[in-house]
C-alpha cells in the first residue's frame, strides 16, 4: 500500500523520467529518501552524459553523496531496476524499493525480495505510458539501455 509520502516521491521520480525523455534520453527517474525527507533525485543520464552506468537509480545515489547508512532509506524508481541497480540496492543495504511500474521492464523484483528488500509495485499509469511511448519511438535506444541486440 502506498503512503502519501510514497506518492509524492514517485511523482518526483516520474518528473525526473519525463525530463530525461525531453532531453533525448531514457525516461527513468529515481529518488532516494529517508522517511519523508528527500535525500536526492536523479534520472538516467546514459545518453546525455555518454555514461553506460548512469541509470536513474545510480544517478540518484551518486547525487546523494556519501551516506553513513542506507538502511533507513527508500529508493523510488519509475521503472523496475535492472540487475546492476538491483545489485547496488543490495550492496548498499537499502531495505525498501518502491517501483512505479514493472510492466514494460521487470524481473528483478524476486531477486530483491530474496535478499530481504521490501518491494512495492505502484502500477503508475503515467510511468507506464511514458515508458511505452519511449520504447515505441526509440526501440534502438531502449535495446542499448538494457544491453539487448
CB 39 within 8 A of CB 57: no
Q: Of 15, 16, 57, 144, which one is the catalytic site residue?
A: 57
Q: Quick check: 74 and 97 in contact, CB under 8 A?
A: yes
- Going along the chain, which residue ranges are E strands? 29-34, 37-43, 74-77, 96-99, 118-121
The yes-or-no answer on residue 57 being catalytic is yes
In sequence order, the β-bridge partners of residue 118 are 96
Tell me the catalytic residues: 57
Amino acid at each position: 500500500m502506498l503512503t502519501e509520502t510514497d506518492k509524492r516521491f514517485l511523482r518526483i521520480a516520474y518528473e525526473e523520467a519525463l525530463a530525461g525523455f525531453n532531453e533525448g534520453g531514457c525516461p527513468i527517474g529515481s529518488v532516494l529518501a529517508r522517511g519523508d525527507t528527500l535525500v536526492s533525485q536523479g534520472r538516467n543520464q546514459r545518453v546525455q552524459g555518454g555514461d553506460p552506468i548512469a541509470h536513474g537509480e545510480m544517478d540518484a545515489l551518486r547525487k546523494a553523496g556519501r551516506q553513513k547508512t542506507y538502511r533507513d532509506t527508500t529508493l523510488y524508481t519509475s521503472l523496475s531496476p535492472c540487475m546492476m541497480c538491483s545489485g547496488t540496492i543490495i550492496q548498499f543495504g537499502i531495505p525498501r524499493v518502491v517501483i512505479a511500474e514493472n510492466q514494460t521492464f521487470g524481473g528483478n523484483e524476486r531477486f530483491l525480495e530474496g535478499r530481504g528488500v521490501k518491494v512495492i509495485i505502484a502500477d503508475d499509469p503515467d510511468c507506464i505510458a511514458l515508458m511505452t511511448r519511449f520504447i515505441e519511438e526509440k526501440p534502438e535506444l531502449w535495446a542499448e539501455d538494457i544491453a539487448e541486440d
